[in-house]
Amino acid sequence: MAGEKCVTGSQAWFCTTGLPSDVVVEVDGMSFHLHKFPLMSKSRKLHELLSEPEHKEEDGEIYEGDIRRISLHDFPGVSATFEAAAKFCYGVRIDVSSITVAPLRCAAEYLEMTEDFAEDNLVSRTELFLTQSVFRSLSQSVKVLKTCETLLPLAEDLGIAQRCIDIIVTGACATEVSSLFSWPVSDRHKNGIRSATWMEDLTILNLPFYKRVISAMKERNPSTELIEGSLVSYANRTIPGLTRSKRNLKTAPPPAEPAQLDLLDTIITNLSPAKSSVFINAQFLFGLLRTANILHAPESLRTALEKKIAAQLEQATLDDLLMPSYSYLVETLYDVEAVERVLRYFIEEASSAITAENVSENEETLPAGNGDPFLTVGRLVDGYLAEVASDANLRVDKFCDIALALPDHSRVYDDGLYRAVDVYLKAHPALTESEKEKVCGVMNFRKLTLEACTHAAQNERLPLRAVVQVLFFEQLQLRQAIAGTILTAEEEDQPAAPPPPPSAEGGRWRVAAHENQLLRLGMDSMRNRVQDLERECSSMRRAIERIDRSGEAGGRWQRRRRQPPAGGWGSLGRKLGCKSRMQVFDSREAAPKRSVEEQS
């Protein structure tokens, strides 16, 4: 019925009915060659324009012989929308969908194609489609709302945008309730709420409409999970480079910097300050923080985000903490200042959640269990320090502040901290002896394992005072291990005590019996370890005797591999409590004799 052909310098659309056109309507750069009667029968506006006397040249109407030319500069929509409206005037069936219904509704309003002018007109046809098809579907409402972005303010005046928002919020809240009861927790953890599809649908909206949707959701007081799930989907779609994953969602072209700041402010201010739902993880929050640093966001936004990260810092990875420094005033490669602030917020948050009875003042008493967030964050910080320690611009004070930020019970062993110290000393060879001692002072030598002590005792980068402390505690661990093994062996040879009578102390008796069984199960491996320790002690005794003899002969101080003067090792070994293999055997032989005398 209709066709298109190009005219030099413009585009034209011709109605091929066999009759010559008597009116030309220009819309959005397109010239429509039409006929007066079909247009005047459906549109009140076109009827009034075409009914004016021919001598008038106003309202965008120009006469060229027998053909009238009308320009609709303020038409709400594109040329394709007017084409559909024109076809409707000619009685041609048009397809109405969620993409075309809002433009057609606005076009019908603009052209005044109402029921009081002609029956079964375009206004009633589009309203019927909105009511029966669009406003019964959440996803269809999102698509219609998207088309309203280019139809303002008429789409707002007709209430199309607000009606779509109401349907979206109502459907989202209803879907959330049904999904929480119908889906297992594991599926929600993996895939989020079942309605994650509509969360993805909302990502097509521009920021003004999306902010209105979120605001309406908060007025309905839905769960935090619902809002944060939508925020994550929208941020991943609209903020470029938010995550470092290779499987990151495809993002739209990045907006201008002011628009990005507005977007970032919307995401951060709508996040809950408490620990988030399964949708929000530490990787997402650190991505927001990197974006905020790049855009030089206001300090209030970054502080809110850092506190949010601190609430779930135990979920972070080492890659999350390694944020590049985007400040011109900071010389370090990584943003250690931000990490230090996050640690401070974490300590404040975690400490307030732990009662005084759960934290012992004795530094040797450590909280049990790997579920303690302090232990998880302690391992994370040790790994972070080992990575940033190689930065030549990292000051001693900053390294020590981060290492000492966590309380002592955050680390069961200080081996990870020792590795970071070793890396720092290797990357900063020009440190003075006092600076080296300050760096080593972040470690608790009592909490180094035997393997770490063995490595530290031969580490040429450590200051002499640190090496002496390492040797002392290494020997102390050896003595305690040998003494504990001998005591266990003696208890094993003694007859089992009769069960205690039932009393209030029965619980402690059962615990002691259980511990005794565990000790018996590990006796075989412990005996093998004792033999190894005895051989090590014997070797050390012979080495000390040779050093004593060489010291008496020469009387000179020698130092090799950070060892103290040769002449002093004999007395130092005795002070450290080294026992020879014969002494160990004597103590084991003496134990049965004492027990016999006591029995007699």
State the pLDDT at residue 420: 96
> Hey, which residues does 62 pair with through a beta bridge?
69
Burial label for 580, CB within 10 Å (0-12, 13-18, 19+), is middle
State the pLDDT at residue 588: 37
State the pLDDT at residue 20: 77
Q: Which two tokens mark 2?
A: 């209709």
Hey, what amino acid is at 533?
L
Q: Are 268 and 288 in contact (CB under 8 A)?
A: yes
Q: Are 219 and 172 in contact (CB under 8 A)?
A: no
Residue ranges in 51-159 assigned as alpha helix (H): 79-89, 101-111, 122-129, 138-147, 154-157
State the pLDDT at residue 552: 55
Task: Note every long-range contact of 584-592, with CB atoms under 8 Å and residues 24 or more positions apart, other chains counting.
Answer: 584/482, 584/486, 584/534, 584/537, 587/486, 588/486, 588/489, 591/486, 591/490, 592/493
Helix (H, G, I), strand (E, B) or coil at 2: strand
- Separation between Cα atoms, residue 69 and residue 31, nearest integer Å: 9
Hey, what amino acid is at 85?
A
Burial label for 163, CB within 10 Å (0-12, 13-18, 19+), is middle
Task: Note every long-range contact of 378-382, with CB atoms under 8 Å and residues 24 or more positions apart, other chains counting.
Answer: 378/406, 378/410, 378/411, 378/416, 379/411, 379/416, 380/313, 380/314, 380/316, 380/317, 380/318, 380/321, 381/343, 381/405, 381/406, 381/410, 382/411, 382/416, 382/417, 382/419, 382/420
Q: Are 262 and 207 in contact (CB under 8 A)?
A: yes
Q: CA 63 from chain center: how many Å?
A: 65
Ordered DSSP codes for 22-73: -EEEEETTEEEEE-HHHHHHH-HHHHHHHTS-TT---TTEEEETTEEEEE-T
Q: Are 165 and 212 in contact (CB under 8 A)?
A: yes
pTM (whole model) above 0.75? no
For residue 153, cis peptide bond before it (omega within 30 degrees of 0): yes
For the beta sheet containing 67-71, the strands, ordered from the edge strand earlier in sequence to the opposite edge, are: 2-7, 10-15, 30-34, 23-27, 67-71, 61-64
The backbone region for 256, taken as left when phi is positive above 0, alpha when psi lies in -120 to 50, beta otherwise, is: beta
**pLDDT per residue as tens, the chain (600 positions):** 444 333 333 576 666 666 777 888 999 888 898 988 999 999 999 999 988 765 444 444 455 456 788 889 899 989 999 999 999 999 999 999 999 999 999 999 999 999 999 999 999 999 999 999 999 999 999 999 999 999 999 999 999 999 999 999 998 887 654 554 343 333 343 333 344 688 889 999 999 999 999 999 988 877 778 888 899 999 998 888 776 654 444 555 666 778 889 999 999 999 887 776 677 888 899 999 999 999 999 999 999 999 999 998 999 999 999 999 887 777 889 999 999 999 999 998 887 766 444 544 444 444 444 457 899 999 999 999 999 999 999 999 999 999 999 998 999 999 999 999 999 999 999 999 999 999 999 999 889 888 888 898 888 898 888 888 888 877 777 777 676 666 665 555 555 555 555 544 445 545 555 555 554 555 555 555 556 666 776 777 677 777 666 655 554 444 444 444 444 334 334 433 444 333 333 333 333 444 334 333
Q: Which two tokens mark 137?
A: 């579907």
Q: Are 216 and 165 in contact (CB under 8 A)?
A: yes
- Separation between Cα atoms, residue 207 and residue 306, nearest integer Å: 24
State the pLDDT at residue 196: 62
Hey, what amino acid is at 19?
L
- Separation between Cα atoms, residue 267 and residue 193, nearest integer Å: 19
Contacts of 526 (CB under 8 A, 6+ apart): 485, 488
| CA within 13 Å, CB half, 568 | 10
Helix, strand, coil share (%) of the chain residues, nearest 5: 60, 5, 35
Which run of H or of E encompasses 7? strand 2-7
Task: Note every long-range contact of 524-530, with CB atoms under 8 Å and residues 24 or more positions apart, other chains counting.
Answer: 526/485, 526/488, 527/485, 527/489, 529/481, 529/485, 530/481, 530/482, 530/485, 530/486
State the pLDDT at residue 530: 55
- Separation between Cα atoms, residue 249 and residue 329, nearest integer Å: 33
Candidates 526, 529, 537; CA nearest to 581 is 537
